């Protein structure tokens, strides 16, 4: 059975984390490892996580829940801790406030991507899907503006982060070798996804479009709250991967496009 490692990063997240925990708990797919990496929360986040683990352990649902809580050096440092501990075939980051749209989302991914029928060595390097944006109450606001292309490559992100981090499933043997660059405060996820896709291409593995919404993304994430700093950092990430001239020309087009679409 293909196993998914879901990593949830938390820090004083009592207001939104329950929706995430309930969403993972509700997954009908049995091969789930849920790592909760907490940054030494001072509110009731850990109590909620502990209650969730006890509830999960009482169920015969095939899920394994692991909780770790200690100070960290930011969200990407915490994500690296999750990468190090992950033992599934694929890893996805579903942070506090984010959720799966349906109880059978993981079941659908396995079925649509024909994962059960493939030898482990031939599994796609990346699985990716669509994302909906939700508010702090979990209510649907709208589909994410940037939509994933039918054929994704590492060069696709020249047009922006076309796949949301929470809708990006990386094969664990690739992901473990490519930790998040903690020099970036807001855009290490963009850099990491590009590097995972480049390695996937180097290995001659496919990137598979799941073709459905696989994540509900909380609108007010860390990147949204630090929008300008995030944009500056993303420019540096793109410059590193795609070159200074191409990145500059692309951003000129982004500006023109924003005026055309008004």
Model confidence pLDDT, tens digit, residues 13-60: 999 999 999 999 999 999 999 999 999 999 999 999 999 999 999 998
Strands 63-69, 32-38: pairing is parallel
Cα 220 vs. chain centroid, distance in angstroms?
A: 15
**Tell me, what's the pLDDT at 106?**
98
Per-position b or e across 53-72, b if 16+ CB within 10 A of its CB: beebeeeeeebbbbbebeeb
- C-alpha–C-alpha distance, residues 91 and 93, integer Å: 7
| Whole-number percent of the chain with pLDDT over 90 | 82
Phi/psi region, residue 40 (left: phi>0; alpha: psi -120 to 50; beta: rest), is left
Q: 101-115, 134-148, 153-167, 223-237: which has the minimum mean pLDDT?
A: 223-237
**In which band, very low, low, confident or very high, does the pLDDT at 252 lie, cut at 50, 70 and 90?**
confident
């Amino acid at each position: 059975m293909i196993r998914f490692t879901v990593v949830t990063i938390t820090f004083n997240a009592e207001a939104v984390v329950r929706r995430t925990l309930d969403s993972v708990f509700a997954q009908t797919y049995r091969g789930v490892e849920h790592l909760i990496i907490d940054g030494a929360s001072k509110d009731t986040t850990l109590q909620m996580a502990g209650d969730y683990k006890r509830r999960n352990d009482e169920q015969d649902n095939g899920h394994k829940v692991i909780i770790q809580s200690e100070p960290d050096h930011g969200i990407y440092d915490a994500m690296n801790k999750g990468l190090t501990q992950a033992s599934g075939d694929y890893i996805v980051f579903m942070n506090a406030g984010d959720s799966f749209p349906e109880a059978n989302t993981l079941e659908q991914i396995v079925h649509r991507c024909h994962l059960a029928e493939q030898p482990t060595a031939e599994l796609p390097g990346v699985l990716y899907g669509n994302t909906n944006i939700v508010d702090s109450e979990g209510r649907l606001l709208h589909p994410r503006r940037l939509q994933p292309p039918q054929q994704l490559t590492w060069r696709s992100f020249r047009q922006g982060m076309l796949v949301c981090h929470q809708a990006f499933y990386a094969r664990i043997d690739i992901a473990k070798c490519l930790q998040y660059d903690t020099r970036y405060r807001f855009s290490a996820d963009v850099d990491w996804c590009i590097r995972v896709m480049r390695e996937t291409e180097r290995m001659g593995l496919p990137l598979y479009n799941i073709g459905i919404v696989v994540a509900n993304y909380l609108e007010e994430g860390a990147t949204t709250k630090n929008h300008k700093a995030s944009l500056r950092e993303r420019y540096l990430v793109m410059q590193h991967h795609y070159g200074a001239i191409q990145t500059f020309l692309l951003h000129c087009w982004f500006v023109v496009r924003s005026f055309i679409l008004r």
